[in-house]
Amino acid sequence: MKVVHPGLKELNRVIDSQSDRPLSNSLVLVTKQLAKLIIESPNFSVNINDAADILKVPKRRLNDITLVLEGAGLVYRPKKNFINWCLYPDLKYLANKENEIDGLIANAVFELMKLKHDKDLAYVTREDLDETYSDKTVMAMKVPPNTTMKVPENMTENGMILGFQSEDGPIELQLFIEGDHNDYIEKLT
- Same domain for 81 and 101? no
The least confident of 118-122, 127-131, 134-138 is: 118-122
CA distances in angstroms from 10 to 44, 63, 74, 189, listed in the order given: 17, 21, 10, 57
Burial classification of residue 31, based on how many CB atoms lie within 10 Å of its CB (0-12 exposed, 13-18 middle, 19 or more buried): buried
| Residue 29 shares a structural domain with residue 68 | yes
Rounded to the nearest 5 percent, the helix, strand and coil shares of the chain are 50, 20, 30
- CATH code where residue 23 lies: 1.10.10.10
Q: pLDDT (tens digit, 9 = 90+) per residue, 44-89?
A: 889 999 999 999 999 999 999 999 988 888 888 989 999 988 865 5
Residue 155, sorted as left (phi over 0), alpha (psi -120 to 50) or beta, turns out to be beta
Number of domains in the chain: 3
- Give, as one character, the DSSP assignment of residue 77: -
- Domain residues for the domain of 113 are 90-119
Q: Tell me if 1 is assigned to some domain.
A: no
- Cβ contacts of residue 25 below 8 Å, gap of 6+? 19
* Residues 96 and 81 grouped into a single domain: no
Q: For residue 81, how far is the Cα from the chain centroid?
A: 35
Closest CA to 84 of 64, 65, 70, 71: 70
User: Across the strands, what pairs with 84?
Assistant: 45, 76
pLDDT digits 0-9 by tens, 29-39: 899 899 889 88
Q: Which residue has the higher pLDDT, 116 or 65?
A: 65
